[in-house]
Amino acid sequence: MAKRYFRLVDDVYTPGRWELGSPLDEREQEIRTWLFEQGEPALVEGRIRIPIYAPGKALDFSLLAGSSIPVVHARVAAVFAKLAPSDVQLIPVEVSGQSEPYVLLNITRVVKCIDDEASDEVRYVTPEHGLPDQIGEYRSVIGMRIDPAKVGDAQVFRTWGWVAIVVSEAIKEALEELGATGAKFQAVTGPSTISAEERARDRKSRELLETAATAREVAWRTLGSLDKEVFMPIAMSGSWPGQRQLWSVIRREAGRTLLVTHGLSDPFIERLEPSVGLGLELALEVDSSVKDISKGWPLLLLDRVADEVTEHEQVCESMKAGLFSMEVSGKGMPKSLVTEEGRVAVLLGVASRTLPGHFSTPYGEVKLVTVKALLPSELGYLLEHGAEGQAELARRFVESGEEHLSRLRRKPVA
């Protein structure tokens, strides 16, 4: 009988689960997580602390936020120490607020065993993706299947060329018997579990979304350095055209950070046909190098504006027509931006000398709408002068040399 193997992943549907952040050294400096994703032993000195990224139920198995690095309870680590001593490096860590012992599980075995033909779909990096050093490598592996004959004696390993952790059936059964929380197993041997019709539909939807995403990334790279290392929260959303909320971070000159929506121009996935979705993407630029984008006010503000765009067709059409202003909730926002009513105002569509008004995709032109955070006095000016006030504020912003740039500390222009 052929050996059975399983992909080990986070059970993201565990109710009230916690999320762990990036590891910190004794000086509270972030440790580069790639050290533990190379499939080889890592040299670690001193204490490692794992902060809580999102509070919740403590789990026996968790992947660090935005990575494929497991942090496990000591009893889970004991299973790997017993059944796969040659495949792992066990690194003790302190998890914030936990008295129980935890271990960072560094998987030190890499096996080239993905079965391209048996997997539902495999795609490779091409010159069009703008990653010359990765051409020919895997870009995506859907419905992964491996060739058990190529695994050898490995009990836990990383798959070569694709970020996946695979365990033997013996480890799966041991963790299940232990009742380890947070772990989920996906079969990577045996026949596919989806029908030919489902596979064809999934393939079509992925092709549409990937084509749109690739075109956007090409556009983003013309604006600065696309930061692929930043962990950005991803959420499923029925109101976004592709039913997924995505964001991208672009590092710009003078230490500026440009945050953009990365999915409002996705095709409407339910229709399974090419389109530019809502026909626009939003861009908010700040005058600093924001390290933790996911917790900062720029993403919070952009997220709230995006909600208005996706939930109200009139708002979307007004944005595409020209200058447009709106107010959103000021909860959690910097005090300098919040009005007495607890709101934050933005002016959308201010022309920029350094950002294009549109960019091209194979499915059509997409409008890039700038988002400018207003100060309370500037909102007062807008409320008094209406559409003429919008145009005058935009003119004054351009005159100041900051146009679309959002800053917390600046003099109001009105």
pLDDT at 131 over 80: no
The reported pLDDT for the residue numbered 231 is: 56
Q: Give the list of residues 6+ apart from residue 232 with CB closer than 8 angstroms, or none.
A: 66, 246, 247, 248, 249, 293, 294, 299
Look at residues 289, 284, 316 and name the one whose alpha carbon lies nearest to residue 300: 284
- 255-271 pLDDT per residue, tens: 899 999 999 999 999 99
Look up residue 355 and give its two tokens: 């950002």
Residue 334 CA: distances (Å) to CA of 94, 307, 350: 32, 20, 22
The reported pLDDT for the residue numbered 215 is: 95
- 182-236 pLDDT per residue, tens: 999 999 998 877 777 887 888 899 889 989 999 999 999 999 999 877 656 556 6
Strands 225-226 and 247-251 come out as antiparallel
- Tell me the sheet residues that pair with 124: 138
- At 308, the amino acid letter reads E
Confidence (pTM) = 0.67
pLDDT at 44 over 90: no
Q: Give the list of residues 6+ apart from residue 341 with CB closer than 8 angstroms, or none.
A: none
- At 156, the amino acid letter reads V
CA distance 300 to 373: 12
Secondary structure of the chain in the HEC alphabet? CCCCEEEEEECCCCCCECEECCCECCCCCECCHHHHCCCCCCCCCCCCEECEEECCECCCEEECCCCCCEEEEHHHHHHHHHHCCCCEEEEEEEECCCCCCEEEEEECCEECCECCCCCCEEEECCHHHCCHHHCCCEEEEECCCECHHHCCCCCEEEECCCCCEEEEHHHHHHHHHHCCCCEEEEECCCCCCCCHHHHHHHHHHHHHHHHHHHHHHHHHHCCCEECCCCCCCCEECCCCCCCEECEEEEECHHHCEEEEECCCCCCCCCCCCCCCCCCEEEEEEECCCCCCHHHCHHHHHHHHHHHHHHHCHHHHHHHHHCCEEEEEECCCCCHHHCCCCCEEEEEECCCCCCCCCEEEECCEEEEEEEEEECCHHHHHHHHHHHHHHHHHHHHHHHHHCCCCCECCCCCCCC
- At 34, the amino acid letter reads W
Contact 283, 248 (CB under 8 A): no
Tokens 């935005």 sit at which residue? 66
Mean pLDDT of the chain: 91
CA distance 45 to 55: 27
- 325-353 pLDDT per residue, tens: 999 999 999 999 999 999 999 999 999 99
The reported pLDDT for the residue numbered 235 is: 63
CA distance 262 to 247: 5
Strands 156-159 and 110-111 come out as parallel
Residue 66: pLDDT band (50, 70, 90) is confident
Look at residues 212, 210, 317 and name the one whose alpha carbon lies nearest to residue 266: 212
Q: Is the dihedral of CA 60, 65, 67, 69 positive or negative?
A: negative
Residue 142: pLDDT band (50, 70, 90) is confident
pLDDT at 129 over 70: no
Give the rounded percent of residues in the chain with a pLDDT score beyond 90.
Answer: 70
CA 79 to chain centre: 31
How is the chain split into domains, by residue range?
Answer: 5-193, 208-400
Q: Give the list of residues 6+ apart from residue 140 with CB closer than 8 angstroms, or none.
A: 121, 122, 123, 206, 210
- 378-405 pLDDT per residue, tens: 999 999 998 899 999 999 999 998 999 9
- 102-121 pLDDT per residue, tens: 999 999 999 999 998 888 88
CA 333 to chain centre: 22
CA distance 19 to 54: 5
- 279-321 pLDDT per residue, tens: 999 999 998 776 667 678 999 999 999 999 999 999 999 999 9
pLDDT at 252 over 90: yes
